[in-house]
Structure 1
Amino acid sequence: MTAPRAVFVGVATEDSIATVEKYPGADERVVASAMVFGGGGPAATAAVAAVRLGVPSAVVAAVGDDEEGERVVSRLAAEGVDVSGIVVVPGAATSRSIVVISGEERARAIMNRVGPPLDLVGHGRALELMAGAEWTHVDQHGWRAVRDVRGRVAGGIRLSIDAGNEIPGLELDGTALYAPTRDALERRYGAGDLDENMRRAIDDGAEAVVVTDGGRGSRGLRADGERASSVPPEAELVSTLGAGDVFHGALIAGLLRADDGSIDGGFAGAVAYATAVGTLSCRGIDGRSRIPDHEETMSALAR
């Protein structure tokens, strides 16, 4: 297997997803128009997106020694993701989510069983993977685990943070890429001007900030003043489940492809690339089945 260029650290789950016309009331039964069983989790889904886009990637996560954990690992391996950094915790239950998507607006309710904690102290394979990768991307559960071992990674790491979910005690010093939603950015810095809030994140230590803003697209700012702005391409939207996770995996892939010269536009080109991928992934009920490959993404951008 090709050595991973990106390592994604955090949550890997098994998801059960149903779509209904409306949420059931107490003691009410509703008929689902569709039901899907698959893999989820911010870090794991981001890794699947990166691999689908041609970037060799690995997942570092913890699962239980149960059937759900076996399925989580096998699904990732089937996508071509390096799973050598996944720890199987004896006696633990793997994280699982039940997701119900309701109505034309595709609102969703998520019920999650939290999986085993991720501890990278003494996890030599995880340190090896991060030392060899060009990017290490963390979600809300991966950040603290990586923070605790960051000084032990040979050569240091280029850190990207998915900050869409709250991360208690989050520090941005030494962060190469800070990637919150607009709502998360405003929770941290207060409601106000988006550009000013991105600048505040830069002042707190981030080298670059990329903010997702739902159907309005995404915006970015680098410490050197370079800006990015991208609107979503036209696509049939079925569900936004996992779109942010896909966006982050595609953003890492886009930045690597921009470095290689296989996409144009540098930082702004990578943000546009990720916006297209995240949008196109919304054609499926789940977060993974409709992630496009590189060629389909470039066709969408050309249109």
Structure 2
Amino acid sequence: MKTSTSDRLPLLVFIGTATTDTIALVEDYPGPDSRTVAEDLVIAGGGPAATAAVAAARTGARTAFIGTVGTDSDGERIVADLEAESVDVSAVTRSTSHPSGASIVVVARTGSSRSIITRPGPPLDLTRNAAAHTLMSEAAWIHADHMGWPALEGLKDTEGSFRLSVDGGNPIPGFSLNGVDLYVPTIEQLARTFREKRSSDPEVLLHSARNAGARTVVATGGSHGSWGLGPDGTMVHVPAFASSIRSTLGAGDVFHGVLLASLAAGHRLSDAMQDANEAAAKSCEALDGRSGIPRRTHPAVLLPGTASGQPGGIRAG
């Protein structure tokens, strides 16, 4: 049986949240008892881990998503959208007791801000998900968001030699950086986490996260670009990529997916951050969080030794 190029790529598994988002573009936020005409209205897939999986898949990476949706139409759409992006959904489970995650997002053109009203999706439990365990045993990397990490942490014995990436954009109760190979928060979240340092200096904050156990730390700062601290202690700053911003919805999730795909392909930390900055900026040209994600026409570059599914190294610099 002939093996395809995609089958030889390292497997990147994304665990956590998937939603259906309804996004409305308005001139300004509506007041109480008012009727507002939207300039545009879009329904699209969302969720931190799911959008990161789509972004990684569009680089040519081999990806899978693990999460739980309801048995409703939103759940069917979530799964279909991921399948259309060539994301493996074999480990997605359906809940008969909870509806799928969904959000209403109001994007105000005045001030370029947004407001999100969300319905959380079903609880995520990996303990009895045999398909999830199979994927995790084959994974080179596992990326978890704020719902994925608690579910992953709840497993006493996780098979496989994967490296762990964590989306630090949202608070995670009880979270520990011990054993985290790649930690990607916003610079604001990093400052809140290490507030005892009383410093807003990115270098100080990234070193605080490294000292707490993370092997590699990359913090995003919107228009200020991103900062990275690799395993060898080298600090990297990559300026923001210029783009025409329509909405920043999902930009951080896109950054995470492309950053991980680029690192898994063996690119240097600075180059991976540049790839992620550019993809995130381009995604902001669309109203939703996915349709603007750039798509590459060639698969991610393989490092020697990654064909078997073993993780490639992170090279700082």
* TM-score, normalisation: structure 2: 0.88
Alpha-carbon distance in structure 1 between the residues aligned to 2:16 and 2:71? 17
Query: Does residue 101 of structure 2 align to residue 99 of structure 1?
Result: no
1:238 maps onto 2:246 in alignment: yes
1: distance between equivalents of 2:204 and 2:231?
A: 13
Give the corresponding residue for 1:67.
73
TM-aligned CA deviation for residue 89 of structure 1: 1.1
* Shift in Å, 1:200: 1.2
More helix by share: 1
Partner of 2:275: 273
The Cα shift of 1:152 comes to 2.4
Instruction: Note the alpha carbon deviations across 1:134-169, whole angstroms, 9 max, x for none.
Output: 1100000000101112x5222333100001011111
**3-state SS of paired residue (1:25):** coil
How many angstroms does 1:234 deviate by? 2.0
8 Å contact from structure 2 (residues 222, 240) kept in 1: no
**Can you give the 5+ residue segments of structure 1 that lack an aligned partner in the other structure?**
299-303
1:226-269 deviation digits (Å, cap 9, x = unpaired): 22211122211111000000000010011022x1xxx5xx1111
Structural mapping, 1:3-82, within 5 Å: 3=7, 5-82=11-88
Instruction: Work out whether residues 18 and 101 of structure 2, in 8 Å CA contact, stay in contact via their aligned partners in 1.
Output: yes
Q: What is the root-mean-square deviation in Å for CA atoms of aligned residues?
A: 1.6
Question: Cα deviations across residues 189-230 of structure 1 (Å, max 9, x unaligned)?
Answer: 015121111111111110000000011110000232122211
C-alpha deviation, 1:295, in angstroms = 6.0
1:162 aligns with 2:167: yes
Contact between 2:28 and 2:110, CA under 8 Å: does it hold in 1? no
- Paired residues for 1:1-303 under 5 Å: 2-3=6-7, 5-149=11-155, 151-190=156-195, 191-192=198-199, 193-257=201-265, 259=266, 266-294=268-296
Name the structure 2 match of 1:301.
none
Q: Percent identity?
A: 44
* Number of equivalences: 290
Question: What is the one-letter code of the residue matched to 1:120?
Answer: L
Q: Quick one: which amino acid aligns to residue 168 of structure 2? A: A
Amino acid at match of 1:163: G
Q: Name the CA distance, whole Å, in 2 between partners of 1:91 and 1:163.
A: 29
- Where in structure 2 are there 5+ consecutive unaligned residues? 301-317
Distance in 1, matches of 2:292 and 2:286, equals 5
- Checking the alignment, whether the CA contact within 8 Å between 1:229 and 1:272 is kept in structure 2 is no
How far 1:173 sits from its partner (Å)?
A: 0.4
Question: Which has the higher relative contact order, 1 or 2, with Cα contacts under 8 A spaced 6 or more apart?
Answer: 2
**Any runs of at least 4 consecutive aligned residues in structure 1 with deviations exceeding 3 A, and if so which?**
1-4
Determine helix, strand or coil for the equivalent of 1:82: coil
Q: Tell me how far apart the structure 1 counterparts of residues 95 and 181 of structure 2 sit (CA, whole Å).
A: 31
